[in-house]
Amino acid sequence: MKRPKKKVSIMRKLQRRDRLKIYGDLLFILNSESKKEKVVLTHVQLKINVPFDRLKTYIDELRELGLILENPSLKLTEKGKLYLREYEMVLDFVKRMGLTY
Amino acid sequence: MDNTPLIVVEVVSAIVCFVLVWFMVKPYRTTGESRYLGLPLGFAFLGVSYVLMGAAYFESFHFVQETKWLQLFTQTYAFTFLAATYFFSKKPTKHSRLWLDLTYAALILLAIVSYLAVVEPLIFGLPSYKRANEYLLLFNIICLAYISIHTLRSHASKPDPKTIWTPLSYILLSFGQYSLFIWSVDSSFAAYVGAQFLRLSGLLILLFVTYQAFHAPHETPQKEGIHNEKASA
C-alpha cells in the first residue's frame, strides 16, 4: 500500500515542462550535440527525457519554424541560435527575479 | 516649501520604472507567454503612479486632489500586479495560467472602475483621502512582504549570489511603503525622506538586476533544468 503513495509523491515533485521549455531544452541539447560528428537521436532523447515519438514531433516542429535544419545531421540555424541565446537570457532573468516558473 | 527635490525624485523613479518595463517586456516579446506580462505591467503602473505624484507636487496644477487619488490607486494596482505574478509563478499548470489571465483582467477592470470613481466622486462617494491612503499603504506592504518572502524562499531553495539582490530590492520597497505609512500617521518629514531614499534604492537595485540579466555575459542556466525535470506535456 505504501509503494503507490511514494510514486505519487515523486510524480508531484517533478515539475511539468511546457512546450516552450521543451523547445528551449531541445535546442540547447541539439546545439551541444551538433558539435559532435553526428547527432544521435537516442542520445538526445535520453538527455531531454521525452518519448521518442514525441521527440520526433518536436524536431519536425522546430524544423518547420526554421530553428533547426538537417544538413546532413541536425544542427541549429542562425535563427535557432539567436532564439536559444534570447531564451537563455529569459531564463536567467526569471531566475534572478525570483520567479519560480 | 519648494517642491523641486520631490518632483525630481518622482521623475527619476518614473524613469527607472519605465526603463525596467523596457527590459522586462523582452521575455514576453521572445516567448509570447502572457505570464511574462505581470512584471512589465506592474512596473508600468508604478511608473505612471510616480508621474502622477510628480504632477500633484506642481503648485500651479489644478487637479491635485484627483491626481493624488489616481496615484494612490495606480500604485496599489502596481504592487497587486507584481504580487499576483509571483503568486501564480509557483505552480505553472493549465489552471494557474487561466487564473492569472483572469486576475489580470479583473485588476484592469477594477482600475477602470476606480479611475471612474475619481472622475465622478459624487456618484461613487470616496472616503477621506488620508484614511484610504493608510489602508492602501498597508495593503501595499502586505503585497511587498509576500513578494519578498517568495523571492527569499526562491533564493534559499537554490542559493546563488545573483538571486539575493531581488529580495533585497523588494524589502527596501516595502520599507519605503512602511515609511510612507509612518509619515501619513505622524507627519514625520524624516520618514518621508527615508521613504523616497528606500524606494529609489530598491528600484535602482532592480534595474541593476535586470541589466545584468540582459546585458552582462552569463553562463547557460539551462543545463540544470534539463536534468532535473521530466516532460509530461
- pLDDT, average across residues B126-149: 91
Extents of the domains making up chain A: 17-96
Please state, in angstroms and rounded to a whole number, the distance separating the CA atoms of residues A14 and B143.
29
Enter the DSSP assignment of B233. -
B58 pLDDT tier (thresholds 50, 70, 90): confident
Write out the H or E segment, with its range, that includes residue B164: none
Which of B98, B220, B224 should be substituted to probe chain A, the one whose Cβ sees the most A Cβ atoms within 10 Å?
B220
According to DSSP, the residues that pair with A74 across neighbouring strands are: A70
CB pair distance less than 8 Å for B222 and A91:
yes
- Report yes or no on B126 lying in a domain: yes
Enter the DSSP assignment of B161. G
Q: What is the CATH number of the domain that holds B160?
A: 1.20.1070
- pLDDT, average across residues A15-30: 80
Name residue, grid cell 532523447: A45
pTM score, two decimals?
0.81
| Signed CA dihedral, B9, B13, B19, B23: sign only | positive
* Chain A residues within 8 A of B163 when measuring between CB atoms: 95-96, 98
Which class in CATH covers the domain with range A17-96? mainly alpha
Residue B34 at interface with chain A, using a CB cutoff of 8 Å: no
CB pair distance less than 8 Å for B226 and A20:
no
Given this model, what pLDDT does residue B226 score? 46
pLDDT 10s digits, B79-107: 998 998 898 886 666 677 777 788 888 88
Q: How far does the CA of residue A93 sit from the closest CA of chain B (Å)? A: 5
pLDDT 10s digits, A24-77: 889 988 888 888 778 888 888 888 888 888 889 999 988 998 888 887 788 888
Better-scored residue on pLDDT, B47 or A20: B47
Residue B137 has pLDDT above 60, yes or no: yes
Name residue, grid cell 508600468: B44
- Report yes or no on B232 lying in a domain: no
Q: How far does the CA of residue B224 sit from the closest CA of chain A (Å)? A: 10
Domains identified in chain B, total number: 1
Selecting from A15, A25, A49 the residue whose C-beta is nearest the C-beta of B222 gives A25
- Report yes or no on B229 lying in a domain: no
- Report yes or no on B226 lying in a domain: no
Residue B30 at interface with chain A, using a CB cutoff of 8 Å: yes
